């Protein structure tokens, strides 16, 4: 069995939100006061997550498992969960998306447990802007996390940056220069309508074209010819910085959707399958999981959940409705 939809796409990349909680409050993701967190009893245990991942890997063709959130490092036994997932057969590639806080002390253990890839979110190099954007003065912790990830051999470390107009958009080139010096792979992400305030506006969003134009005032960018051949389902379009060996990524999720090649499926912290970030419906795996369903029954529910996937996220349709859950509760 595979996780196929009606448009010929097959999901092989499972993104698991390990928690909806976070120690930052990035304005595009979470309100300052936090959210009504999921009741602890609703959140999948490590054993439940492992059972679902095992079904995904052994029966449904999942080859990559990305652990995200909320902030996945808030999950106490993350290293053990990574080790358990890495021990599955066939072993999936394990990736982590994190804000980097606390990573300095854990990167090595995570790498030893079997973590292969890491994305660290960093939108600014200015401590004041960091605090304005994320509402916590934690820039030094994030930078220490980036350094630790590199030292632990989790290379190439990828950096996710969201630019907000009038807040950090003037820092696009500073971030690029820093990323080139640190030898980490920078990827700018267009802001998507997944903010809890439902305040996203197309005109306010810094588009991929704008990011490119902004960077082009400082460096010459050309499309990366290898990327065009090998991009596959990767969301980032890569641009070579002429005269360097460096390529910068831009994820134009809104202005140039890549839904046609999407290979992702999401599992929320409370055990719901979402076949798209922007899905309006979810499929509950937690209830059957806790009421004695067999692996085949759970696999069949999962297959049905993905089969219903829409052809695209629809952000550009006049009838688009933002999902009720914000990014932090879905798992980015
Ligand atoms: N807390 C972790 C982190 O920040 O990396 C993992 C979860 S976070 C939801 C995953 C990614 O989603 C981050 O890179 C973040 O910048 C991005 N993100 C959150 N809200 C977004 C939005 N409205 N539009 C685009 N990206 C967003
Ligand atoms: Fe937390 Fe990540 Fe959302 Fe920022 S983007 S509030 S770090 S979950």
- pLDDT (tens digit per residue) in 282-324: 999 999 999 999 999 999 999 999 999 998 887 877 778 888 8
Cβ atoms of 253 and 192 within 8 Å: the answer is: yes
Nearest CA to 310 out of 321, 298, 296 is that of 321
pLDDT at 18: 97
Task: Kindly state if the Cβ of 171 falls inside 6 Å of ligand 1.
Answer: no
More confident residue, 203 or 86: 86
User: What phi and psi, each to the nearest 5 degrees, are found at residue 284?
Assistant: -80, 115
Distance 207 CA to ligand 1 centre (A): 16
pLDDT at 115 over 80: yes
Number of domains into which the chain is organized? 1
pLDDT at 256 over 90: no
CATH classification at residue 78: 3.20.20.70
More confident residue, 49 or 322: 49
Atom of ligand 1 nearest to the CA of 71: 1
| Pairing verdict, β 158-162 and 185-189 | parallel
Cβ atoms of 179 and 218 within 8 Å: the answer is: no
> Pocket around ligand 2: residues whose beta carbon is below 6 Å from it?
22, 24-26, 29-30, 69-71, 99, 121, 328
Kindly indicate the confidence band of residue 209, based on its pLDDT and cuts at 50, 70 and 90.
very high
Atom of ligand 1 nearest to the CA of 69: 7
Nearest CA to 31 out of 124, 176, 135, 173 is that of 135
- Mean pLDDT for 245-274 is 93
- Mean pLDDT for 221-240 is 83
Ligand nearest to the CA of 160: 1
Kindly indicate the confidence band of residue 119, based on its pLDDT and cuts at 50, 70 and 90.
very high
Mean pLDDT score across all residues of the chain:
94
pLDDT at 22: 96
A 10 A CB-CB count for 174 gives 14
pLDDT at 233 over 80: no
Q: What is the pLDDT of residues 175-206, one digit of tens each?
A: 999 999 999 999 999 999 888 888 888 888 99
Is the peptide bond prior to 258 cis by the omega test (within 30 degrees of 0)?
no
Q: What is the pLDDT of residues 11-38, one digit of tens each?
A: 999 999 999 999 999 999 999 999 999 9
Q: What is the pLDDT of residues 158-172, one digit of tens each?
A: 999 999 999 999 999
Kindly indicate the confidence band of residue 235, based on its pLDDT and cuts at 50, 70 and 90.
confident
- The residue contributing the CA closest to ligand 1 atom 2 is 98
The tokens describing 136, both together, are: 């916590």
Percent of the chain with pLDDT over 90: 81
Distance 332 CA to ligand 1 centre (A): 5
Helix (H), strand (E) at residue 15: strand 13-17
Pocket of ligand 2, candidates 21, 22, 122, 141: which has the most ligand atoms within 8 Å of its Cβ, to mutate? Answer: 22
Cβ atoms of 77 and 50 within 8 Å: the answer is: no
Task: Kindly state if the Cβ of 29 falls inside 6 Å of ligand 1.
Answer: yes
Buried b (16+ CB within 10 A) or exposed e, 316-331: eeeeeebbebbbbbbb
Distance between CA atoms of residues 277 and 192, nearest Å: 10
Per the structure, the complete domain to which residue 249 belongs is given by: 3-330
More confident residue, 9 or 318: 9
């Amino acid at each position: 069995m595979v996780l196929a939809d009606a448009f010929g796409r097959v999901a092989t990349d499972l993104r698991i939100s390990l928690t909806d909680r976070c120690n930052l409050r990035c304005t595009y993701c979470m309100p300052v006061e936090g959210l009504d967190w999921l009741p602890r009893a609703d959140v999948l245990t490590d054993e439940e997550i492992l059972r679902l991942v095992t079904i995904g890997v052994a029966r449904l063709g999942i080859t990559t498992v990305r652990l995200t959130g909320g902030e996945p490092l808030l999950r106490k036994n993350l290293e053990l969960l990574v080790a358990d997932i890495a021990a599955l057969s066939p072993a999936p590639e394990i990736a982590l998306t994190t804000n980097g806080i606390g990573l300095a002390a854990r990167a090595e253990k995570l790498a030893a447990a079997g973590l292969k890839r890491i994305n660290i979110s960093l939108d600014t190099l200015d401590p004041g802007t960091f605090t304005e954007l994320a509402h916590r003065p934690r820039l030094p912790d994030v930078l220490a996390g980036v350094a630790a990830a590199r030292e632990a051999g989790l290379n190439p470390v990828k950096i996710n940056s969201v630019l907000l107009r009038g807040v950090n958009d003037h820092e696009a080139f500073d971030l690029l220069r820093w990323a080139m010096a640190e030898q980490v792979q920078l990827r700018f992400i267009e802001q998507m309508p997944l903010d809890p305030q439902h305040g996203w506006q197309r005109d306010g969003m810094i588009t991929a074209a704008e990011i490119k134009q902004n960077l082009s005032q400082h460096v010459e960018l050309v499309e990366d010819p290898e990327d065009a051949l090998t991009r596959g389902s990767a969301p980032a379009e890569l641009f070579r910085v002429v005269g360097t060996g460096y390529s910068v990524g831009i994820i134009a999720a809104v202005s140039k959707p890549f839904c046609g090649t999407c290979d992702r499926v999401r599992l929320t912290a409370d055990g719901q399958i979402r076949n798209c970030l922007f899905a309006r419906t979810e499929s509950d795996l937690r209830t059957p999981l806790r009421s004695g369903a067999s692996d085949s029954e759970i696999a069949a529910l999962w297959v049905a959940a993905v089969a219903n996937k829409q052809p695209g996220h629809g952000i550009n349709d006049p009838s688009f409705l933002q999902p009720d859950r914000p990014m932090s509760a879905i798992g980015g």
